[in-house]
């Protein structure tokens, strides 16, 4: 827990984030982030597709301070969608609303999302709104509800460590959700702190969404959770077309391929861009094994 809190603290350090952009993909990050450009991301996706894996790409970005930066991020998302369509790869788009101006002007963020979703709908591409910390939860869900009155090609993420996760999943019946354990440092007032209880709640909301008949993306590297989901789906006659597994680029690659070979949809989250620092620190915080992984990458 101490190590996790340390890396989560580092993830929010704006000075280190700024410096990291100058370093490039050092400290092992290049092994979990394929590159800084759209072209590098598409190339990585193409190689994963050839192995039977589908993908979602995310242009990393944090600490957006003004309208110009938000509009620039929006345009980059649009260009990414167009690059996906032009290349013909099997890939969705993931994004964060704070990149698009959520903390600056809600209406600006909404209009930016409309532009992205309209482009994505033209190419039949799905867009996933990544969930951020608890302070952005209500604003994210409110905006999602508004956008879904116009577009069906959009979903979001629910984090199992939040006490309200079950109610949020219930409210989002019929919406494609990525279900995760949670990657931010949250107060005990709003989030479960015990790992075993988080795992228990995670399985509970996965089962809940599946039984609701809703498309469910199970995003985890936990092989025990994965096996439990497979067994639950089989016992309840839930088709493989109603759910998928998701993992991060560069992690547990052998398990990714094994799951795909079993006939399940295995989607790889492929981040790219030079604003990689916050994402990388949160990955180090999630599992102690990730620190060793990064150290090996740095030595190589």
Instruction: Tell me which residues are annotated as active site.
Output: 130, 178
Written as six digits, the tokens of 210 are 């599946």
Contact criterion met (CB below 8 Å) for 160 and 182: yes
- Strands 243-248, 216-219: parallel, antiparallel or unpaired by DSSP? parallel
3-state secondary structure of 234: helix
Q: Pick the closest to residue 259 from 57, 90, 53 (CA basis).
A: 53
Q: Which residue, chain included where needed, has tokens 């025990």?
A: 224
User: With DSSP H G I counted as helix, E B as strand and the rest as coil, what are the percentages for the chain, rounded to 5?
Assistant: 55, 15, 30
d(CA 88, CA 86) in angstroms, rounded, equals 6
């Amino acid at each position: 827990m101490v190590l996790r809190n340390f890396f989560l603290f580092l993830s929010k350090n704006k000075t280190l984030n700024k410096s990291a952009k100058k370093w490039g993909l050092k400290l092992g990050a290049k092994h979990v982030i394929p590159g800084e450009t759209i072209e590098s991301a598409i190339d990585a996706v193409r190689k994963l597709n050839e192995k039977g894996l589908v993908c979602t790409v995310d242009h990393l970005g944090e600490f957006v301070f003004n309208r110009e930066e938000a509009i620039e991020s929006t345009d980059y998302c649009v260009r990414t969608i167009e690059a996906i369509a032009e290349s013909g790869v099997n890939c969705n788009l993931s994004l964060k609303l704070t990149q698009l101006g959520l903390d600056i002007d809600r209406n600006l963020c909404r209009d930016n999302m409309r532009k992205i979703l309209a482009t994505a709908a033209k190419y039949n591409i799905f867009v996933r709104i990544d969930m951020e910390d608890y302070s952005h939860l209500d604003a994210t869900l409110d905006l999602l509800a508004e956008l879904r009155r116009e577009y069906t090609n959009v979903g979001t993420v629910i984090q199992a460590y939040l006490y309200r996760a079950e109610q949020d999943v219930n409210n989002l019946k019929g919406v494609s959700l990525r279900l995760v354990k949670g990657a931010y440092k949250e107060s005990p007032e709003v989030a479960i702190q015990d790992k075993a209880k988080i795992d228990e709640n995670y399985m509970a909301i996965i089962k809940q969404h599946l039984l609701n008949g809703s498309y469910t993306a199970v995003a985890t590297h936990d092989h025990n959770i994965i096996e439990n989901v497979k067994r639950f789906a089989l016992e309840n006659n839930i088709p493989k077309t109603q759910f998928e597994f998701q993992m991060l680029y560069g992690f547990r690659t052998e398990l990714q391929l094994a799951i795909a070979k079993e006939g399940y949809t295995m989607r790889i989250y492929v981040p790219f861009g030079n604003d990689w620092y916050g994402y990388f620190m949160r990955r180090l915080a999630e599992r102690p094994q990730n620190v060793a992984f990064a150290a090996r990458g740095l030595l190589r």
